[in-house]
Amino acid sequence: MSRTRVAPRTLLTAVAASALVLAGATVPATADPATALVVGDLAPGSITTSDVVSGAFTIMASGAKAVTVDAADRTSDRGDVYTQRLKLNGSGNAAERSLRFDATAGTEVTVHARSGSGTADRALALYDAAWTELDRVVAAADDESSPIATQVLTVPADGTFWLASPSSGVNVFHAELDVEPDTGRTPWADVAAPVVDDVVLDPADPGRLLVGYTGTVGPDGADLAHARLHDADGNVVDQTFAAEDGAAGTLAVEPPSSGSYTVEVLLTRAGEDTPLVSEAVATPEFSLPLATPEIAGILTTGVSGAEGTVTVEWGAVAEAETYSVGVRQGTEEFVTVVDGVAGTTADVVGLTVGQVYDAQVVAHRGDDAAASAPVEFTVADAVERWQTAHVGVGSGGEVVENEDGSITFDALDNFGKAADSEDGFWYHYTAVDPATENFTLRATIHVDDSASKDNQSGFGIVAVDDLVANDASARYMNSAGASVAKYVFGANGEEGVRYGTPGAKFVHGYTGPPTESSANRDMTDSRAFDWDYKDGYVEGGNANPPRFEAGEDYELTLRRSNTGFHAIWHRDGETVHEVIQYDPDMLLTQNDEVFYVGLFAARKIQVTVTDWSFETIHPDDDEPAQEPPPVYVTPTLTADVTRTTPHDSIDVPLTSNVYGRAQVTDAEGAVVADGIDVAPGERTIVPLDLARGANEFTARLVPDEEQPHFGEREELESTDPVEIDLSFDVRSYGEPGQAIRVAPDGDAGGDGTADAPLDLHTAVAYAQPGQQVVLDGGTYRPQEAIVVGRGRDGTADAPITLMSEPGSRAVLDLSESASGGIWLRGDHWHLYDLEITRSQGYKKPLHVGGHHNVIERIESHHNQDTGIQISGLSTEPPEMWPSHNVVLSSESHNNRDPLGNDADGFGVKLTAGKGNVIRYSIAHHNIDDGWDLYAKSTTGPIGVVTVEDSVAYANGWLEDDENLTDLGEGNGFKLGGESMPGAHILRNSVSFGNLAKGVTSNSGPDVRLENVTSAGNGLASPSKSAMNVQLKTSAGRTGYRASGVLSWQASLADEIELKQDDTTLLTDPTNYFDGVAGAPGDGPAEVTEDWFVSTDAASVRPEIGADGSVVMHGLYELTDIAPPGTGARLAANPDPTVIEPLPEVVPIAPWYPTAVYTAGDVVSHDGIAYEARWWTRGVTPSAGSSWGPWVAMGPAGMPPVEECAEPWAADAVYTRGDVVSHDGVNHEAYWWTRGLEPGTRVHGAWGAVSPCR
CATH number reported for the structural domain that contains residue 212 in this entry: 2.60.40.10
Q: How many CB atoms lie within 10 A of CB 630?
A: 12
For 602-617, what is each residue's pLDDT tens digit? 999 999 999 999 999 9
Instruction: Spell out where 819-964 has E strands.
Output: 822-824, 829-837, 846-848, 854-861, 868-870, 886-888, 891-893, 906-908, 916-919, 922-924, 931-932, 945-948, 951-953
Residue 223: what pLDDT? 93
Residue 1169: what pLDDT? 75
579 & 562 share domain:
yes
356 & 234 share domain:
no
* 451 has a pLDDT exceeding 70: yes
Q: How many CB atoms lie within 10 A of CB 818?
A: 12
Last residue within a domain, chosen from 327, 357, 378: 378
771 & 846 share domain:
yes
| Residue that wins the pLDDT comparison between 844 and 1021 | 844
Specify the range with the lowest mean pLDDT, choosing from 509-518, 598-607, 990-999, 1109-1118.
509-518
Helix, strand, coil share of the chain (percent; to 5): 5, 45, 55
Residue 1186: what pLDDT? 63
**Terminal CA-CA length for the chain:** 63
For 17, the enclosing helix (H) or strand (E) is helix 14-23
Residue 470: what pLDDT? 82
- Nearest Cα neighbor of 320 from 278, 258, 369, 250 is 369
Residue 18: what pLDDT? 27
Residue 692 pLDDT grade (very low, low, confident, very high; cuts 50, 70, 90) = confident
* 575 has a pLDDT exceeding 60: yes
481 & 517 share domain:
yes
Residue 224 near residue 211, CB atoms below 8 Å: no
502 & 543 share domain:
yes
* Size of the chain in residues: 1253
Residue 427 near residue 600, CB atoms below 8 Å: yes
CA distance 1183 to 422: 59
Q: Which amino acid is at 664?
A: V
Q: What is the mean pLDDT of residues 944-960?
A: 96
Q: How many CB atoms lie within 10 A of CB 538?
A: 12
Q: What is the mean pLDDT of residues 396-417?
A: 92
In total, how many domains does the chain have? 9
CATH number reported for the structural domain that contains residue 93 in this entry: 2.60.120
- Nearest Cα neighbor of 856 from 811, 907, 909, 920 is 920
Q: What is the mean pLDDT of residues 255-264?
A: 94
Query: Parallel, antiparallel, or unpaired: how do β-strands 595-602 and 631-633 relate?
Result: unpaired
Residue 1196 pLDDT grade (very low, low, confident, very high; cuts 50, 70, 90) = low
Angstrom CA distances, 1099 to 1, 1102, 1113, 1129, stand at 18, 10, 11, 20
Residue 864: what pLDDT? 94
Residue 185: what pLDDT? 87
Residue 688 near residue 697, CB atoms below 8 Å: yes
767 & 682 share domain:
no
Residue 16: what pLDDT? 29
Q: Quote the domain boundaries for residue 497.
A: 387-617
Residue 875: what pLDDT? 84
CA distance 1020 to 371: 44
CATH number reported for the structural domain that contains residue 1182 in this entry: 2.10.10.20
321 & 411 share domain:
no
Residue 94 near residue 162, CB atoms below 8 Å: yes
For 889-906, what is each residue's pLDDT tens digit? 999 999 999 888 889 999
Q: Please report how many Cα atoms fall inside a 13 Å half-sphere around the Cα of residue 808, on the Cβ side.
A: 12
CA distance 1040 to 1033: 10
For 19, the enclosing helix (H) or strand (E) is helix 14-23
464 & 358 share domain:
no
Whether 952 is covered by a domain: the verdict is: yes
Residue 27 pLDDT grade (very low, low, confident, very high; cuts 50, 70, 90) = very low
Residue 25: what pLDDT? 35
CA distance 193 to 196: 10
Residue 766: what pLDDT? 95
CA distance 470 to 639: 48
Query: Which residues make Cβ contacts (< 8 Å) with residue 1141, sequence separation at least 6?
Result: 739, 772, 774, 805, 806
CA distance 491 to 578: 9
Helices (H), 238-284: none
Contacts 24+ apart (CB under 8 A), 1113-1121: 1115/992, 1116/990, 1116/992, 1116/1013, 1116/1015, 1116/1092, 1117/1092, 1117/1093, 1118/1013, 1118/1091, 1118/1092, 1118/1093, 1119/1090, 1119/1091, 1119/1092, 1119/1093, 1121/1084, 1121/1088, 1121/1090, 1121/1091
Residue 827 near residue 796, CB atoms below 8 Å: no
Residue 1131 near residue 918, CB atoms below 8 Å: no
Last residue within a domain, chosen from 848, 863, 878: 863
Any idea of the CA torsion for 520, 518, 969, 998, to the nearest 10 degrees?
-130
* 1251 has a pLDDT exceeding 80: no
Any idea of the CA torsion for 302, 304, 307, 310, to the nearest 10 degrees?
0
* 195 has a pLDDT exceeding 60: yes
CA distance 227 to 86: 29
Specify the range with the lowest mean pLDDT, choosing from 288-292, 446-450, 467-471, 482-486.
467-471
Residue 720 pLDDT grade (very low, low, confident, very high; cuts 50, 70, 90) = very high
Whether 182 is covered by a domain: the verdict is: no
Q: What are phi and psi of 1091, to 5 degrees?
A: -70, -20
Query: In sequence order, what are the beta bridge partners of 1207?
Result: 1221
Residue 138 DSSP SS3 = strand
Q: How many CB atoms lie within 10 A of CB 367?
A: 5
Residue 544: what pLDDT? 87
Residue 839 DSSP SS3 = coil
Angstrom CA distances, 1005 to 424, 837, 843, 1040, 1047, stand at 21, 35, 31, 7, 20
Query: Parallel, antiparallel, or unpaired: how do β-strands 810-813 and 829-837 relate?
Result: parallel
**Catalytic pick among 417, 844, 974, 1024:** 974
| Residue that wins the pLDDT comparison between 939 and 588 | 588
Return the DSSP state at 878. Answer: G
CA distance 817 to 813: 9
Query: In sequence order, what are the beta bridge partners of 481?
Result: 462, 505
Residue 1182: what pLDDT? 80
676 & 797 share domain:
no
Residue 734: what pLDDT? 86
Instruction: Spell out where 128-223 has E strands.
Output: 133-139, 151-154, 159-164, 170-177, 195-201, 209-217
Specify the range with the lowest mean pLDDT, choosing from 152-166, 245-259, 1066-1080, 1161-1175.
1161-1175
* 1191 has a pLDDT exceeding 90: no
What is the residue-wise DSSP string for 122-134? Answer: EEEEEE-TT--EE
Angstrom CA distances, 959 to 895, 962, 966, 969, 1024, stand at 10, 7, 11, 15, 18
Last residue within a domain, chosen from 153, 177, 201: 177
Q: What is the mean pLDDT of residues 77-94?
A: 90
The mean pLDDT of the chain is 90
* 2 has a pLDDT exceeding 80: no
- Nearest Cα neighbor of 1105 from 917, 889, 860 is 889
559 & 585 share domain:
yes
* 465 has a pLDDT exceeding 70: yes
| Residue that wins the pLDDT comparison between 278 and 1149 | 278
Residue 985: what pLDDT? 97
Residue 847 near residue 825, CB atoms below 8 Å: no
Residue 904 near residue 865, CB atoms below 8 Å: no
Residue 660 near residue 645, CB atoms below 8 Å: no
Q: What is the mean pLDDT of residues 702-719?
A: 90
Query: In sequence order, what are the beta bridge partners of 695?
Result: 728
For 748, the enclosing helix (H) or strand (E) is none
Whether 641 is covered by a domain: the verdict is: no
CA distance 202 to 211: 9
| Residue that wins the pLDDT comparison between 281 and 422 | 281
Q: What is the mean pLDDT of residues 767-773?
A: 95
836 & 877 share domain:
no
Residue 12 pLDDT grade (very low, low, confident, very high; cuts 50, 70, 90) = very low
CA distance 499 to 501: 6
- Based on the residue annotation, tell me whether 604 is a catalytic residue of this protein: no
Q: What is the mean pLDDT of residues 4-14?
A: 31
Q: Residue 314: left if φ>0, alpha if ψ -120 to 50, beta else—which one?
A: beta
Query: In sequence order, what are the beta bridge partners of 356?
Result: 378
1050 & 1160 share domain:
no
- Nearest Cα neighbor of 252 from 293, 202, 181, 214 is 202
Whether 628 is covered by a domain: the verdict is: no
* 117 has a pLDDT exceeding 80: no
What is the residue-wise DSSP string for 273-321? Answer: SS-EEPPPEEPPPB-PPPPPP-EEEEEEEEEETTEEEEEEEE---TT--
**Cα 218–223–226 angle (5° rounding)?**
115
Whether 183 is covered by a domain: the verdict is: no
Query: Which residues make Cβ contacts (< 8 Å) with residue 28, sequence separation at least 6?
Result: 9, 10, 11, 12, 17, 79, 80, 81
